[in-house]
A and B are shown apart, each in its own frame.
Chain A
Amino acid sequence: MTKGAAFFKQAASDFAVFEWMLSQDRTVIPECHVGHYLQMALEKLAKAILIDAQADPGNSHAAFSRLRHHLRRADIAHALGYADFRQFRALLERSAALFVEIEQLHPGIPADFDGPNVEYPWEAPQTVGTDLWLSPVGYRFPIIGKLQRTGDGAALIELIRRIFARYPSTFT
């Protein structure tokens, strides 16, 4: 297995777990876990594609937002089943904030940020009651609701499904 294929294989498994958790009762499954699998899946998916494009992102966790620029090509749009390249490009433009918000679920992005993330507790702002520290469990991550409440949320998930389904023929 190549390095890119290994990243892709793990990303596909992470994304399947994300979709399963997303479909479950989120009053039971904390949103941090849903977001964690989403962030991990898309970081690894982006790395797989960038590695196969000879643009290895190294150890940086900031790969998914780079993917948006990489996708903005007519041949990729058509390979993924989007007949109208302008509409495909418009979806990528409208989704820019979602790409960034998903990437920033990681505790290391942006660098030196000490705030809400899906993995580790963070020091509470002084305005939050008497708690000195906050934990990802119990925190409401806005991105999860946005995926449901916006039309582009479902469209982005559909785009990512298509990338997974057509990865070998489109990117390798």
Chain B
Amino acid sequence: METVTIPQNYEIAVQMLADWHSDSSDSSMRILAFPDPNRSIVRLLELSRRFPSVGEELRPVSFGRSHEFPFPSSVILADPDDWQRIERRELKLPDGWDLDQAAPILP
């Protein structure tokens, strides 16, 4: 039976999800967190040349809280060119994602 460490607070949950998704073999990978002021929803934007461009819509993959990960989470996969469009505010972030609060987590 697989043993899973349960994150005890919001900050640990953000780092844990980023660690799970990081790939040391992918030098193009960056992960940014978009903190929730209510410290409830873990939001990550993951950038890599591996991922296809999002096109015209940023649509997160969302998970509800669970016994093993007691925080809802949303993850967007995008390529680095998409990030430039986000920074220029040409691509609209989903509701609740604040570009001014984006914080690099990895590398």
Q: Please report A residues at the B interface, Cβ cutoff 8 Å.
A: 19, 22-27, 29, 80-84, 87, 90-91, 140, 142, 144-145, 147-151, 154-155, 157-158, 161-162
Contact = CB atoms under 8 A, between A and B. Distances in A.
Interface of B: 2, 4, 17, 20-23, 46, 49-53, 55, 59, 61-70, 72-73, 75, 77
The binding surface of chain B is classed by DSSP as loop
Contact of A148 (B23, B67, B69): B69
**Majority-rule SS of A interface residues:** helix
Contacts of A158: 51-52, 61, 77
A26 B65 contact: yes
A27 B67 contact: yes
A23 B62 contact: yes
B67 A91 contact: no
Contacts of B17: 148
Contact of B52 (A19, A24, A83): A83
A150 B61 contact: no
Given A142-B2, A157-B61, A151 B20 contact: yes
A60 to B, nearest CB: 29
16 contacts: A19-B62, A22-B62, A25-B64, A26-B65, A27-B65, A80-B52, A81-B52, A84-B50, A87-B49, A144-B66, A145-B4, A145-B68, A148-B69, A151-B22, A151-B23, A154-B46
